[in-house]
Structure 1
Amino acid sequence: MDDASGERGWGLPLAAHCRCGQVAMTVSAPPILTTACHCRGCQRMTGGAYSLSVAIPVNGFQVSGAEPVRGGLKEGPLRHMFCPHCLSWIYTDLTEMGFMNMRAPMLDDPSWVLPFVETQTAERLPGVQTGATISFERFPDMDIWPAIAKRFASEGPRPVS
């Protein structure tokens, strides 16, 4: 049965917050993909083994509360956005690609998030396993992502309703 948003199995909207709660995010469109990136940059930005993300269409991602600030590498194409108060890395603004890459732990209920795809496994820390359905040693060419997103739409994890 479809939920109120008309999107089967998503229970939209999904709520998310930074660590201190001053930045709130609302996900009102089904995620495109869940990913784990094992690159050294993501390891250093998260302070963990990898970055666990949920790609959200731009038109389905709203931010309220405190205004996020750019952090991480402040130059270059990636706009990593942080809470100005607790300094949590909350999302990466990829508007030009049509999505926001929100850190999955920001979801109020991230219990359903499993990485469907993992990238940069050549830099994976010893012993780290994600259980991702699809793995890439490096970051793959952009032309394969639409097929992966289509597969995620039918096979990817969903919140438990």
Structure 2
Amino acid sequence: MGLSGHCLCGAVKYTVDAEPLIVAYDHCDDCQRQSGSTYSLVVVVPKDKLKIDGTTKSFAGKGSSGNAVHRVFCPECGSPIAHDPDAAPEIIAVKAGTLSTEDKKKLKPDTEIWTISKLPFCQEHLEKPFKNMPE
């Protein structure tokens, strides 16, 4: 299948030559702040299958593991593209809102993570949520 997407201004484009490992509603506080919303829908893929074209910038914050989480974004329009956790170097979480329209329509979220930070007015999405990250 593969996936493709781009930032708001089109300066950053990407392709993923793999199926998603998980599609998750991510309720962590950092994703809320980065997205400016109540959660971020992420598509976790093998990092070595993601190809980014265009210049990106990143901001490194500290994850719950104590390791850095690099938040990759377009320096022109500010669109968040992915978050890249040092604690799990084999994966990267692409921000689902940046996927092509066709790819977004095909998504089937299967995981809900960081519900410990879930805002009280948010509806339940899935039956078996994870308070933090799945093991």
User: Does the pair score TM above 0.5?
Assistant: yes
* Paired AA for residue 18 in structure 1: C
Whichever structure has more strand as a proportion of its residues is 2
Superposition deviation, residue 115 in structure 1: 2.5
Q: Distance in 2 between matches of 1:98 and 1:133?
A: 27
Q: Distance in 2 between matches of 1:107 and 1:124?
A: 24
Instruction: Deviation per CA, 1:69-127: give whole Å up to 9, x if none.
Output: 01263895111101010011110124753111100111012122243111121221133
Q: Which residue of 1 aligns with 2:90?
A: 98
Q: Which residue of 1 aligns with 2:123?
A: 129
Q: Distance in 1 between matches of 2:124 and 2:7?
A: 23
Superposition deviation, residue 19 in structure 1: 1.0
* Paired AA for residue 109 in structure 2: P
Q: Which residue of 1 aligns with 2:10?
A: 21
Q: Are 1:68 and 2:56 an aligned pair?
A: yes
Could you tell me the TM-score, scaled by structure 1's length? 0.70
RMSD, matched Cα: 2.2
Could you tell me the TM-score, scaled by structure 2's length? 0.83
Q: Rg: which structure is higher?
A: 1
Q: Distance in 1 between matches of 2:26 and 2:12?
A: 24
Taking CA–CA contacts closer than 8 Å with sequence separation of 6 or more, which of the two structures ends up with the larger relative contact order?
2
Q: Which residue of 1 aligns with 2:109?
A: 115
Q: Which residue of 2 aligns with 1:154?
A: none
User: What secondary structure, in the 3-state scheme, does the structure 1 residue paired with 2:126 have?
Assistant: coil
Whichever structure has more helix as a proportion of its residues is 1
Identity of aligned residues (%): 31
Q: 1:89 aligns with which of 64, 80, 94?
A: 80
Any conservation in 2 of the 1:29–1:59 contact (CA below 8 Å)?
no
- The alpha-carbon distance between structure 1 residues 120 and 82, as it changes in their structure 2 partners (threshold 3 A), is same
Q: Distance in 2 between matches of 1:114 and 1:126?
A: 23
